[in-house]
Structure 1
Amino acid sequence: MARNLNPKCRQCRREKEKLFLKGDKCFTEKCAIERRNYPPGQHGQKKTRMSDYAVQLREKQKIRRIYGLLEHQFRNVYKQADRQKGVTGENLLQLLEGRLDNVAYHMGFGASRSESRQIVRHNCILVNDKRVNIPSFQVSPGDKIEVAEHAKKYIRIKSSAEIAKKRNIPSWVEVDSDNLTGVYKSKPERGDLSSTINESLVIELYSK
C-alpha cells in the first residue's frame, strides 16, 4: 500500500499552519510551527505572490495532508462527493470526516489520524460489534465504534483516550473514554468543522 513518508512537521511548515499530524507534540512548544513558521527549503522565508491556481493547489494539498490521503484517493472522494445531492464542498468534508480512521481519531483512540489509521489496520476497532480493518470505511450515523477487547490493554490507546478527555470532543460523536466506546451520532455540519479549510478552492481546482 502506498504511503506518504514525508516528514510530518515539514508538511505543516509547507502549509504554514498546524495540521496536527504529530499528536501530542502539536500542542507543545516543540511544534515546528511554533519555532519556524515558514515553508521549508532555502527559499522558505522569501515572500512570493501566488497565482490563483497556486492558492487552489495549496488548499487541496493542505486538506489531503490533514486527512492523510494520496492524490488518487482524494480525487475518488471528490468524485463521490460530486455525485451526491447537495453542496459538493460540504459533501466532501463529510465524507472525509466519516472515514473510520478519522472517527477513531476524534473519539481519542489514537493520538493522530495516522496512529488511528494504524490501529484500524491492526484489527483493533469494531463497528457495530464487527471487526473492520479498512481505514476508509464510511461510518454511518448511529454506528457504534469501540476498541476491540484484546486492544483495550494497549498503553498507547489508553493514554490517547486520557489525553482526548482534555481536548474538545466534536459534537457529532459521543464517547465513553473509560470503556473505549463511542457512537457516531450524525454527519457534521459545515459550521462544526475547521474554519481554516476553504473547500470551495478545491472544487474550483477540480472543476477546471
Structure 2
Amino acid sequence: MARYRGPRLRIVRRLCTGTDSLPGLTRKDRRQSGKRMNPPGQHGGARRKESEYAKRLKEKQKLRFNYGVSERQLLRYVRKARRISGSTGQILLQLLEMRLDNTIFRLGMAPTIPAARQLVSHGHILVNGQRVNVASYQCKPGDEITVRQTERSRGLVESNLQYPGLANVPTHLELDKPKMVGKVTGVIEREWVALNIDELLVVEYYSRKA
C-alpha cells in the first residue's frame, strides 16, 4: 500500500481521540486547540466499542500515517526491530524517529514530515556534506545535517525555522539556528517521542506477520 495522499485532517479525526493529534502528519489548527476530535461523518460522535484487534489496528495506523511510511515499509521496520536486542516497541519507534525526514522535522527545518520529505527529495539537504535525497536514510550519532548553500534552499528552511511544527528540539539533536546546522548527538529517548501511541499494541498487531 502506497503512502496516503488524501485529506490529512480526515485521518487525524479518524485515528485520534480527545485532543490528540498526529504531529508529524499535520499542524494542529489553532481553532481546534483544546477541542475534541470526532471521527468524520454525520454520526462521528457516536463511537462503537472497539475490539482488541481494532485497537491494535488503530495504533498501527497512527504510527504508519504519522511517519508517512507504507505498510510494507512498516513491516520491514518491525522485522528489523525484532532482530535487535531490547524492547521491540521502543526500538521500532527509534528506527522511525531516526529517519532523515523525521530528524529534519524534529529540528524544526520543516513544519511536517511530508514537508521534510519534500526538502530531502528535492535535494535541499546535506548529510555530512553530501547531498542525500532518500527520506528513509537512517541518521546516526555524529551525523551533521546542513542546508544546501543556495538562496532557494536556505530561504525555504529559514522560513520553516520561524514556525516549527514542534516547539522543542529533542535532547538527541542540536540545532545551530543561525547557521541552519543540525547535529545528531545520540539516539532518541522514549519520552521525547511526540506521538501519543502504545507501541506494544503495534508489536502485537504484527506478531503473526513479522
TM-score relative to the length of structure 1: 0.90
**Partner letter of residue 48 of structure 1?**
R
TM-score relative to the length of structure 2: 0.89
Secondary structure, aligned partner of 2:202: helix
Q: Distance in 1 between matches of 2:47 and 2:137?
A: 41
* Structure 1 residues 12-58: Cα deviation after superposition (integer angstroms, max 9, x where no partner): 101123112233xx1511x4x76662111234222210000000000
Q: Where does residue 78 of structure 2 map in the other structure?
A: 78
Q: Which runs of 5+ in 1 are unaligned?
A: none
**Residues 101 and 136, structure 1, Cα contact 8 Å, conserved in 2:** yes
Write out aligned runs for 1:20-39 (5 A).
20=23, 21-23=25-27, 26-29=28-31, 31=32, 37-39=37-39
**Residues 109 and 147, structure 1, Cα contact 8 Å, conserved in 2:** no
Q: Where does residue 62 of structure 1 map in the other structure?
A: 62
Cα distance, 1:165–1:178 mapped onto 2, change above 3 Å: farther
- Structure scoring higher RCO (CA < 8 A, sep ≥ 6) equals 2
Which of 2, 16, 22 is 1:19 aligned to? 22
**Partner letter of residue 124 of structure 1?**
H
Q: Distance in 2 between matches of 1:141 and 1:50?
A: 40
Cα distance, 1:118–1:168 mapped onto 2, change above 3 Å: same
Secondary structure, aligned partner of 2:66: helix
Cα distance, 1:10–1:149 mapped onto 2, change above 3 Å: same
**Residues 124 and 151, structure 1, Cα contact 8 Å, conserved in 2:** no
Cα distance, 1:52–1:78 mapped onto 2, change above 3 Å: same
**Residues 152 and 158, structure 1, Cα contact 8 Å, conserved in 2:** no
Q: Where does residue 102 of structure 2 map in the other structure?
A: 102
Q: Which runs of 5+ in 2 are unaligned?
A: none
**Residues 95 and 138, structure 2, Cα contact 8 Å, conserved in 1:** yes
**Partner letter of residue 117 of structure 1?**
R
Q: Where does residue 169 of structure 1 map in the other structure?
A: 169
Secondary structure, aligned partner of 1:141: coil
Q: Where does residue 125 of structure 2 map in the other structure?
A: 125
| RMSD of Structure 2 on Structure 1 (CA) | 2.1
Cα distance, 1:152–1:66 mapped onto 2, change above 3 Å: same
Deviating above 6 A after TM superposition, structure 1's stretches of 4 or more consecutive aligned residues are none
**Partner letter of residue 22 of structure 1?**
T
**Residues 15 and 62, structure 1, Cα contact 8 Å, conserved in 2:** yes
1:135 shift after superposition: 0.2
Structure 2 residue 40 is the aligned partner of structure 1 residue 52: no
Q: Structure 1 residues 80-89 or 194-203, which shifts more?
A: 194-203
Q: Distance in 2 between matches of 1:175 and 1:137?
A: 19
